[in-house]
Amino acid sequence: MKSGRPERGEYADYAQSDIDYVLGDDAVAVLRAQGEHVVALLSSLGNVDGLTYAPGKWTLKEVVGHLIDDERIFAYRALCVARREPRPLPGFEENDYVAATHFEQRTMDSLLDEYRSVRAASLAFFTALTEEEWLRRGMVNGYEASVRGLAFHVAGHELHHLRTVNERYLG
């Protein structure tokens, strides 16, 4: 079942510019294709220890770790909304999450293995949703979001970071 494309009001206002880059109206197809692209791109680089584009910016491995964390959180939010969680869901501080772990000490292969696992879990969840579940809404970090809005957020957020990787880390 296709998710359909979310409309304004189904995701955070700050995500609009990222979601605008997501093509189509099928979150599952987009996430599947993007996942394959991310793995192909990053696995071709080998182990890129310490690669950053400016002092104080995340390393490439930290970016990959952040993508993993963000997808886990947004997939969890989508699960909660799809299952009609009545309580508002909290936000998170991405810089604190990255600082609290050691992505740079891992190999790119281990990060990509984890990325694949997280993406596979997200795809399994999203693939099983009904039309009604895709449209359910809940409160997330102070804004109303639909399940499909959260799925498109994952895709748009990843595209945002891929543009940065291509332009600043690899460009």
| Average pLDDT over the chain, rounded to an integer | 97
Say if residues 161 and 62 touch (Cβ distance below 8 Å).
no
Say if residues 114 and 67 touch (Cβ distance below 8 Å).
no
Long-range contacts of 59-63 (CB under 8 A, 24+ apart): 59/103, 59/104, 60/165, 60/169, 61/103, 61/104, 61/106, 61/108, 61/111, 62/98, 62/103, 62/104, 63/161, 63/164, 63/165, 63/169
| b/e sequence 115-142, b meaning 16+ C-beta within 10 Å | beebbeebbebbeebeeebbbbbbbbee
pLDDT of res. 118: 98
Q: What's the fold here for domain 13-169?
A: Four Helix Bundle (Hemerythrin (Met), subunit A) (1.20.120)
pLDDT of res. 86: 97
Mean pLDDT of 2-26: 97
Chain segment 94-143, per-residue pLDDT in tens: 999 999 999 999 999 999 999 999 999 999 999 999 999 999 999 999 99
> Structure pTM?
0.97
How many Å apart are CA 18 and CA 36, to the nearest integer? Answer: 19
Domain residue ranges of the chain, discontinuous segments joined by +: 13-169
Residue among 28, 33, 35 nearest 152 (CA): 28
How many Å apart are CA 40 and CA 116, to the nearest integer? Answer: 11
The model's confidence at residue 89, banded by pLDDT at 50, 70 and 90, is very high
> Residue 171: is its pLDDT beyond 90?
no
